[in-house]
Amino acid sequence: MRQEAERAKTDVTEVAPNVLRLQLPIDMPGLGHVNTYALLDERGAALVDPGVPGDASWTWLLARLKEAGIPLKRVHTAIITHSHFDHFGGAAQLAEETGAAVVTHARFTTFHDDIACTDPTHDHGDPAELPNRERTGKTPWGTKSMLPTADDLKQFGGLLNPHPTKRVRHGDVLQLAGREWVVHHTPGHTIDHVCFHDPAEGVLLSGDHVLPTITPHIGGDTETDPLDDFFRSLEAIAQVGPITTVLPAHGHPFEDLAGRVKAIEEHHLERLQTLIGICHELDWAAVPAISQRLFQERSWGHMAESETWGHLEHLRLTGRAQRRLNADGLLEYLAA
């Protein structure tokens, strides 16, 4: 079993000075837990990626905080590495229960910002800087969108969407765990992904940008080339250092950042070559058909299609594939 698929454990461990690892349960393909990191200081604690929304995760979080000796009222900040619900889902409830600040990248948004709170005291950022997510009900490659609807959010009591009170940018510095942490914008997995580097202790909070045993999903929420964005972000984060401890959002802490970055890059380069071969065999084909050749059946669906689309767009933008719109409104691709 891959590390990231392991079920959440109840133990609380110190993984760096004033940094505790708390595991919260999730049930997603290939994932069995999310790591919430508690960064301790004289004010209490900041929590990084406080899990999915809902009562089960919240109850688990309260139990882990109690075990760590952190009263809920002393959680002063929720830090979100990126806009996936297993990372931001618990932040809104933290803000409601404790008044915690919510820290995200400047480009953080969700597909449900149209139903988000419009309280003027909340910083929603400059709309011109947010991703251009047209609510057409369709994916960029033309199929019906499988994203959650507003009705899906009702089961969470309206607490899914957090409202950022501080939006950070690349190079900003935050005071966490009694020392300075530098913000690194690392788009690719999502357009708003950020990592946090602690130069004093050589610690990197890597979110989903670099994981220990699986390769992060390449998202499609970008105006450019998501795979190229990811490659550039990987190369940049590998140059940060020295890093002695990487704290991922899933899986165990690890040490060899450069080696893991190299392995992830090689995986995606191999996938590109495989994809070229599939496109030669299929001639013109739509993304779902190509995706079902690239991925095993157990992985078929929106995430497999979005990663396939991201790789196909990279091939197109680098002159190795062509695309066209078919009569059904679907994008089709052909290897150049």
Q: What is the pLDDT of residues 240-272, one digit of tens each?
A: 989 999 999 999 999 999 999 999 999 999 999
- φ, ψ of residue 48 to 5 degrees: the values are -95, 125
Contact between 102 and 117 under an 8 Å Cβ cutoff? The reply is no
Q: What would the 3-class secondary structure string for 46-84 be?
A: EEECCCCCCHHHHHHHHHHHHHHCCCHHHEEEEECCCCC
With tokens 């501080």, the residue in question is 166
What domain range includes position 141?
3-263
Residues 170 and 197 in one domain: yes
Which tokens hold the place of 1? 């079993």
How high is the pLDDT of residue 118?
32
Per-residue pLDDT tens over the stretch 2-26: 999 999 999 999 999 999 999 999 9
How high is the pLDDT of residue 112?
47
How high is the pLDDT of residue 113?
46
Residues 209 and 71 in one domain: yes
- Domain edge (last residue) among 238, 263, 288: 263
> Would residue 268 count as lying in a domain?
no
DSSP calls for 265-314: HHHHHHHHHHHHHHHHHHSSEEHHHHHHHHS-GGG-SHHHHHHHHHHHHH
CA of residue 98 relative to chain centroid, distance: 24
Is the pLDDT confidence value at 116 over 70? no
How high is the pLDDT of residue 29?
84
Residues 251 and 311 in one domain: no
Average pLDDT over residues 279-289: 97
Question: Is the model's pTM score more than 0.85?
Answer: yes
Residues 223 and 302 in one domain: no
Q: Which residues share a beta bridge with 184?
A: 195
Q: What is the amino acid identity at position 82?
A: H
> Would residue 231 count as lying in a domain?
yes
Residues 139 and 45 in one domain: yes
Residues 201 and 124 in one domain: yes
Rounded Cα–Cα distance for residues 88 and 74 (Å): 19
- Domain edge (last residue) among 220, 242, 263: 263
- Domain edge (last residue) among 237, 263, 289: 263
With tokens 């929420």, the residue in question is 221
What count of other Cβ atoms lies within 10 Å of the Cβ of residue 120? 7
Per-residue pLDDT tens over the stretch 23-75: 999 988 889 999 999 999 999 999 999 999 989 999 999 999 999 999 999 99
Which tokens hold the place of 265? 């890059």
Q: What is the amino acid identity at position 8?
A: A
Residues 222 and 296 in one domain: no
Residues 237 and 319 in one domain: no
Residues 77 and 190 in one domain: yes
Rounded Cα–Cα distance for residues 308 and 288 (Å): 8
Q: What is the CATH number of the domain that holds 79?
A: 3.60.15.10
> Would residue 126 count as lying in a domain?
yes
Residues 22 and 91 in one domain: yes
Residues 139 and 72 in one domain: yes
Per-residue pLDDT tens over the stretch 225-245: 989 999 999 999 999 989 999
Q: Which of 84-93, 136-145, 231-240 has the lowest mean pLDDT?
A: 136-145
Name residues whose C-beta falls within 8 Å of residue 234's C-beta, 6 or more positions apart in sequence. 186, 188, 209, 210, 261, 264, 265
Q: What is the CATH number of the domain that holds 311?
A: 1.10.10.10
> Would residue 131 count as lying in a domain?
yes
Average pLDDT over residues 304-313: 94
For residue 225, the SS3 value is coil
